[in-house]
Amino acid sequence: MASTHGIHTIDTGFVRPQFDAAYLVVENDRGAFIDCGTNFAVPRMLAALDEAGIAAAAVDWLILTHVHLDHAGGAGELIARLPNAQLVVHPRGARHMIDPSVLWAGASAVYGEAVMEQTYGRLRPIPAERVIEAPDGHVVELAGRPLLCIDTPGHAKHHLTVYDERANVCFTGDVFGLSYRDFDTANGPFILPTTSPVQFDPPALHASIERLVALKPDAMYLTHYGRVESVERLAADLHAQIDAMVDLARAAHGKPDRHAVLMESLTDLYATRAAAHGWRHGRDALRQLLGMDIELNAQGLEVWLDR
């Protein structure tokens, strides 16, 4: 867990190694977590404090990019172990952290109770007085280090990005796509957009990406996964693929096997781009690594089509 500007990358252990990251930012012996993974990540989050040499009582903030459970499922359990920390979340996400029953019910309807328990663990409510809503432009002060919260819809309406001016980097949650280290080549990181099953909004996602690029950050810290540089090149790749995915969705619309058609066409899109990027492991290996993401992207595009 190497640190740059006091930024520590934590592998939450969700799904597979180097799939789901959370971050710890340390400034003058005070800490802020950005995202936290599921309940099962809590021991790893606390271990990261030990490794960074700070106590749980020295953590002032847990900032969530959004409330999807791979980012925020463990927030209640983690906050309960951080006596002085407050939770910072987009205004649209706050109620789901105070009372996670709707969040749980929605996800359970899709995955089933048993899978939810096994994958995420029960969601623990957070006392309302420990929850701070962060509208666009809200600044979190970490021992004199400003962390700017930027409203970045497109993946979800309740999504924010954290801009750390000191390090000149953004913590992007899911709005700046997915870039797994498995796909790195001599050409650098490979990236693809991530929709969400209910709130994908292509124009908003384009605008959010542009807004972040305009900050001219040195790097982006993605939840999936880790630090990536070459920001302008990656942004161009994201823009091109969002447009391509929208075209594929429109082409599949009205077909009786729409979902299957989209799954195949998305796989083809990413496999072709990965090969052009110098990734030599083939379509089946790509499907193995990106299967869950392709499924979610297909679902997200279908909900967008139907809307």
- pLDDT tens digits for range 6-32: 999 999 999 999 999 999 999 999 999
151 forms beta bridges with 160
Cα(162)–Cα(62) distance, integer angstroms: 12
2 pLDDT above the threshold of 80 = no
Written as six digits, the tokens of 179 are: 């870039």
Residues 6+ apart with CB under 8 A from 162: 34, 63, 65, 140, 147, 148, 149, 150, 170, 171
Written as six digits, the tokens of 97 are: 């952290």
Contact 45, 36 (CB under 8 A): yes
Contact 11, 21 (CB under 8 A): yes
Stretch 190-199: mean pLDDT, rounded? 92
Position 176: which residue type? Answer: F
Query: Using CA atoms in the order 277, 278, 284, 285, what is the torsion angle rounded to 10 degrees?
Result: -100
Is the full-model pTM beyond 0.85?
yes
- pLDDT at position 285 is 97
Query: How do residues 60-102 score in pLDDT, each as one tens digit?
Result: 999 999 999 999 999 999 999 999 999 999 999 999 999 999 8
Q: What percent of the chain has pLDDT over 90?
A: 90
- pLDDT at position 109 is 78
Query: Using CA atoms in the order 60, 154, 213, 232, what is the torsion angle rounded to 10 degrees?
Result: 120
Contact 79, 36 (CB under 8 A): no
Cα(116)–Cα(108) distance, integer angstroms: 6
- pLDDT at position 99 is 95
Measured between its terminal Cα atoms, the distance across the chain in Å is 42
